[in-house]
Amino acid sequence: MPLVCLGLACMTACAGDARLDTGSPVAPGTTEQPYLLDSDGSVVIYRGVSVNNAAKGSEDHLPHLEDGEVDLIRSSGFTLIRLLIFWEAIEPRQGSYDQDYLQGLDQLLATFDELGVDVMLDMHQDLWGEGFGATGAPYWSCDESNYESYQVSGEYWWLGYLTEEMAACFNAFWQDTTLWQHYAASWAQVVDLALDHDCVVGYDLMNEPFFGDYDQETMETQILPDFYSMVTGIIREVDQQVCDSGRPCRFVALEPSLHTNLQFQTMLEFPEGEVQLFAPHFYPPYAEMGTGYDGDFTDEQEDLRGLAEHAVERGRPTLIGEYGIFSSLGNEQDYIRAVQDSLESLGGGTAYWSYDRSDSYGLVDSQGQAGYMMSAFYRPYIHKIPGILQELEPLEDGMRVTYQPVGQAPLVAVVPEVCNQTVLSGAELVREDGPRWELSPEPGSDGPVTVQISGCSTP
C-alpha cells in the first residue's frame, strides 16, 4: 500500500539525526495505510522488548540491569524499549512525589540515551497495585477495606481480576476524575524529567486497563477515550515545550481494555487531534498459561489482523505492546516469529514480554547472557524504509521490502551482532554501526526498489 504520515508521530533511534515529525507528510502520494514515520519520511518498523518484569519486585521499582545486559539489548537487534514505570513509585503518598525514584529513572534514561535504542515509557499496573500484593497503583488510591477482605486462590496470577474487591478499586477509579488528575500529575512528573532525554519517543498511558463491572462498549467508547484525553492534556502541558523547541514531539500509546487480551476484538475509539499509536497486547490462552503452542497460527493471525485493521480504519498505526509465551517446549521461537511476521507484514511493530533472567524461557539467563528465547530474535530485518512502501514480506530468515525511494535518507537494516553469513541483495552497505546497517539502493535504480536481507548463521 502507498504511504502517508497523516500527522502521526514518527520516530527513529535516539542516536540518529532524524526526529519525531508531526507535521505534513514527507513522502508524496495518498494512502490507505498509516505507518510510523521518522522526520525523513521513513517508515519505522520496531522489534522491541519490555524492561522489565523484575522491576515490579525490586525495592526501588527499577530494573537494575548489568552493563552487559544493557548492551545486549542493542546488539541482539532490539530497536525499542518499553520501559515500565509505576504510579505507586512516583506518588507513594497522596500528593507527594518520590524524588529518589525519579532520580533513579532519570539516570536509567541517561543510560538508554547512550545505548541508542528508543524508549516508550509505560505506566504499568497489574491487579491494581500494592494493596493487593501487586505493583501499580499506590495503596492510598483505593478504599482499604478492599485490601482487607481480598482473597484469591489458584495458580494463575490474573485470577485476582475476578474478585469483587479488584472490581471495586477499578470501578471507583473510572468514576473519580480526581484520581485521574493524580494519575495524570504523576505522568507530568515523569514527562518533565524525560524532556532532556532524546531516547524517549512516547508514552504508553496505562498498561492493560481493567474494565471492572463495565461492559466493553461503555469502557472503550466512553470511559477510556475520556480518560486518555484528560491524561494526554496534562502530559502536553509539559511536553509541548519539546515540540515548540523544534525537538521531536512524543506520541501517546493507547491500549484497549483488558477484554482484548481475552481475544475479543476491540471497540476502542481514539480521542481526536492527538498523536496516537494503537498498542494492544496479545496473549492467546496457551501462551499465557504455558500449555504450549500447537504450531497452527491461522486463528491468531486473523486476530492480529483484526486489531491492526481497527487502527487503520481510524488512521492510527499499530504496535503490539506486549506479547510472549511462557513455556519451553522447543517451538516458542516459531510462535514469536509468527507474531512478528503478522504485524510486520501489515507495517506494524512488536514489543516482547519481557527482558528478564530465566534459565527456562528467558531472553537472558541467570548469568546475564543471551538465554533460551533470545535466538527467536536472531534474524535480520529492515527497520527504516525511506519512501513509499509497496510491500513488506517477512522471511523465515530475514525480510524483503519493495519501496519507491524518496529523499536522501538511508534504508536501515538491523542485523543482530551474533549473525554470520548475512546476505544482502538490491542495496549496498554504506555504513555499519554495530547491528545497524545503513544501505543505499544499487546504482542505476530508477523506480521501485526491492531489497532483501537474510541469513543468520550463529557461532
Rounded Cα gap, residues 337 and 53, in angstroms: 21
Question: With contact defined as beta carbons under 8 Å apart, do 122 and 50 qualify?
Answer: yes
Q: What is the pLDDT of residue 1?
A: 24
- The answer, yes or no, to whether residue 55 has pLDDT greater than 80, is yes
**What is the average pLDDT across 226-252?**
89
Using only C-alpha atoms, the chain has a radius of gyration, in whole angstroms, of: 21
Q: Which residue has the higher pLDDT, 322 or 328?
A: 322
Q: List, in order, residues 6 or more apart from 199 with CB less than 8 Å away.
A: 14, 109, 112, 113, 115, 116, 117, 118, 119
Amino acid at 24: S
Residue 267 half-sphere exposure toward CB, CA atoms < 13 A: 12
Return the SS3 of 377: helix
Q: Are strands 251-254 and 276-278 parallel, antiparallel or unpaired?
A: parallel
Percentage with pLDDT > 70 across the chain: 92
Convert 36-57 to b/e letters by CB count within 10 Å (16 or more is b): bbbbbbbbbbbbbbbbbbbbbe
Under DSSP, the state recorded for 56 is G
**What is the average pLDDT across 310-316?**
94
**What is the average pLDDT across 213-221?**
96
**What is the average pLDDT across 362-388?**
96
CA angle 121, 286, 46 (to 5 degrees): 30
Instruction: List, for residues 2-11, the tens digit of each pLDDT value.
Output: 222 222 233 3
- Domains annotated on the chain, with CATH: 45-377 (3.20.20.80)
CA angle 110, 412, 113 (to 5 degrees): 0
**What is the average pLDDT across 89-110?**
98
Evaluate if pTM is beyond 0.75.
Answer: yes
Instruction: List, for residues 235-246, the tens digit of each pLDDT value.
Output: 999 998 887 887
The residue length of the chain stands at: 459
Residue 32's pLDDT band, with cuts at 50, 70 and 90, is: low
The DSSP bridge partners found for residue 391 are 402
Rounded Cα gap, residues 252 and 288, in angstroms: 26
**What is the average pLDDT across 60-79?**
98
Rounded Cα gap, residues 407 and 387, in angstroms: 7
Kindly report the average pLDDT of the chain as a whole number: 90
Q: What is the pLDDT of residue 273?
A: 73
Instruction: List, for residues 154-166, the tens digit of each pLDDT value.
Output: 888 999 999 999 9
Among residues 50, 4, 1, 41, the alpha carbon closest in space to that of 21 is found at 41
Greatest alpha-carbon pair distance for the chain in Å reads 73
Instruction: List, for residues 175-210, the tens digit of each pLDDT value.
Output: 999 999 999 999 999 999 999 999 999 999 999 999
Q: Using alpha carbons, list the distances in angstroms from residue 441 to 13, 386, 444.
A: 21, 11, 8
Q: What is the pLDDT of residue 37?
A: 82
- The answer, yes or no, to whether residue 443 has pLDDT greater than 90, is no
Return the SS3 of 323: strand
Choice among 1-10, 40-49, 404-413 with the minimum mean pLDDT: 1-10
Rounded Cα gap, residues 305 and 189, in angstroms: 36
